[in-house]
Amino acid sequence: MNIYYFTFMTSEELSKYNLFVSPASDSKSNYIVKKLDNIIPKYEVITMAETLNKYGTFKSISFPIYKNGKIKTITTYGRNNRIIKKIQYLLRPLQVYFLLRKLGQDDIVIYYHSLWMDRIFLKAKMRRKFTLILELEEMYQDINRCTRNKLVK
């Protein structure tokens, strides 16, 4: 059994790579990861942070985090114009889906509440049968897309 936490966060090791995440997401995710570290012997954090650089590619890298974890980035691209931003916006869910395709029934995925990719996680859960834990706390006006019927399947 492997545990994966998909979220938007950075760490001290990643600070030099100019990745962007919301400060609220970063502090909340770091808090949860510290709690996971105290109770789980091995886990992996997959951060969906994006580079703020205007040019170039930031390839996927991995570092140890706290005592028991590992933090991994997803490849991201410089965002110097609207076309690249749009490509990145469309490519990110595809990158996540390919990561989820490798999971099995005994894996657990904890997913930070980005409704931007909720369908990707729900479709992958139905196909791969892993355990999905959604971290939802806010109310959004478009929450009706993520209904109980979709979550139960």
Q: How far apart are CA 49 and CA 76, in angstroms?
A: 8
Cβ atoms of residues 45 and 24 within 8 Å: no
Torsions phi, psi for 105 (to 5 deg): -65, -30
Residue pLDDT, tens place only, 72-90: 888 777 776 777 777 777 8
Q: How far apart are CA 19 and CA 46, in angstroms?
A: 13
pLDDT range class, residue 152, cuts 50, 70, 90:
very low
Q: What's the mean pLDDT when you consider all of the chain?
A: 78
Mean pLDDT lowest for which of 37-46, 62-71, 90-99, 141-150? 141-150
- pTM of model > 0.75: yes
The residues pairing with 69 across neighbouring beta strands, listed in sequence order, are: 43, 65
Residue 140 has pLDDT above 70, yes or no: no
